[in-house]
Structure 1
Amino acid sequence: MQQQPYEPLGAQAADGSPRILVVDDDPTVAEVVAGYLDRAGYVVDRAGDGPTALTRATAHRPDLVVLDLMLPGMDGLEVCRRIRGHGPVPVIMLTARGDEDDRILGLEVGADDYVTKPFSPRELVLRVESVLRRSRPADTGHRLGAAGLTVDPAARRATKNGTELALTLREFDLLSFFLRHPGRAYGREDLMREVWGWDFGDLSTVTVHVRRLRGKVEDDPARPRLIQTVWGVGYRFDPAGEED
C-alpha cells in the first residue's frame, strides 16, 4: 500500500508551538525528556515502542523526533527509516551505547543529531532548538547554484540537473555551505562549527554526512569530483569537478 505523506509541518499545535515526538521504552527517561521539552514550550507526544511511534507520527506529523535507538520489537533505525518514508522529519537519535558503530548507523539512516545516554536533559533541549532552528525556511537568502546543483534556501529545496534531491536537514545545510564557499578547503572542525553550529562534537558526524551527500550529488560517489578530500585538511567543493 502506498504511504501517505504527512500533513505540513507545524499544522498540529493550535498555538503554533513545534510538536516533538519522544520515543523511548524507558518511562523514566521519556518522562524527564518530555517534561523538559514541555517547559521549553514544545507540544510533546510520547511513544514507548516503534509501532506506537509510527502510529503517532502518522496521526500528527511531528516537527522533530527524539528517538531511542534500542526499542522493543522494532529498533530506532527502522523507525527512522519508516518515518522518513513519509517525508523529511528531523530526528535526534538517543543511544545507551558508547559504541561508535551505533552512532554512525544512526547518522547513516539520516539522523540529524544524536545524544549518548546518560545525557543532560538541558543539553538535549539545546540540541532540539538547534535542529529546529536550522530546519525552518530561511527568511532571506539567494538561490545558489554550480555544477548542475541548485539550492533554494527559502524553500529548502535542492536539485541536481533539474531533479529534486532528497536531502536531510544537515545534508541540505552542508551542500548550501559548499556552494557558498567553492574552491576553499575546510577541516571537519570548521564544518562542524559552520554547518552544525557546534564548537565540539564527534567529527565522524561530518565524515558520515559528507559521504551521504556525495552519494546524492556525485555521478560516481566512489570517485568524487565535486566534493573532494584534501588530505590532511578536510574537504573542498570544486565546481569544475576536476578529479585529483
Structure 2
Amino acid sequence: MNPVYISVVEGNPHLRSLLSWHLQQSGYLVQQCSGFHQARQAFNNQLPTLAVIDSDLTDGDGIELCRWLYQQHQSMIFILSAKDTEKDIVHGLKAGADDYLTKPFGMQEFLARIECLIRRVRTVAAPLLLDYGVLKIDLVQRRVEYQGNFVDLTPQEFSLLYVLTQAEGSALSRTELLRRAWPEAIDNPRTIDTHVLSLRKKIETDPRQPSLIQTVRNVGYRFNSSILEEKKVVAEKPVTLSPAGVSVLT
C-alpha cells in the first residue's frame, strides 16, 4: 500500500506541531507549512495525498489555497477554521474542501475525520502515473519522461500538460486552459500560446509540425494521445531480418 502523505498548513506553530505529531504517530508521512506561500511552493514540488489547511493564514487566504489546490485534482482537502457559521462552512466546501472542522476540536475527532478521508482516497485510487507509452507523467513527483529521457518542465508547463491530458482529446479554449492550469493567474489568455510553444519544443518530435499538442482553429488546443499509441505499437513490433540481411518490422 502506498504511503499517505499529509501536509499540515497551519499558522499557529503549537497547533501545527501537535497535529503533525499525532498524524505521524498514526503512521502518516507529514510535512508542515506555516503559511500560504510556503504551502504553494511545497505543493508545486509535490502534491500531498491530503492537505489540512487552516482557513485563516497570516500571509494569505486559506480558502483561496483550497480553491487553487482543488484545481489540481489530486489531493483531498480538509479545512480547519474558527469560523463556524453555516455560510462559512458552505463557502469552504464549495471552494473544494472534502471536509470542514471548526475550532476548537478534539484530537480524536480530528484523527477520525482524517481516517475517513484517507479511506475515500484509497477507494477512488486515483492514478499516480499517466502512462502513454513513450510519454509518462508522474503526478506525485511532477516529472515527465519522454522517449526514455526526463523532461525539465516548469510548474506552469507541467500544469498545462496535465490539464490537456485530462481533457481526453477534447479541445480546450485558451481561457479554459488558463482557468484550469493556473486559476489564480490574472493574465491574458494569449499567454497560453507562449507556454504551448515552449512545451512543444520539449516534447514534440518536430515542434514546427506538432502532432502531440494540436492547434484547433478558432478553439484552442487539444492533446492527441493517439499519436503516442501509434509510436508505442511501432516500438513494440518485433524486428526480423530479411533474406538480404536488412532489418524489417513484422
User: Normalised by the size of structure 2, how large is the TM-score?
Assistant: 0.48
Structure with greater proportional strand content: 2
User: Normalised by the size of structure 1, how large is the TM-score?
Assistant: 0.49
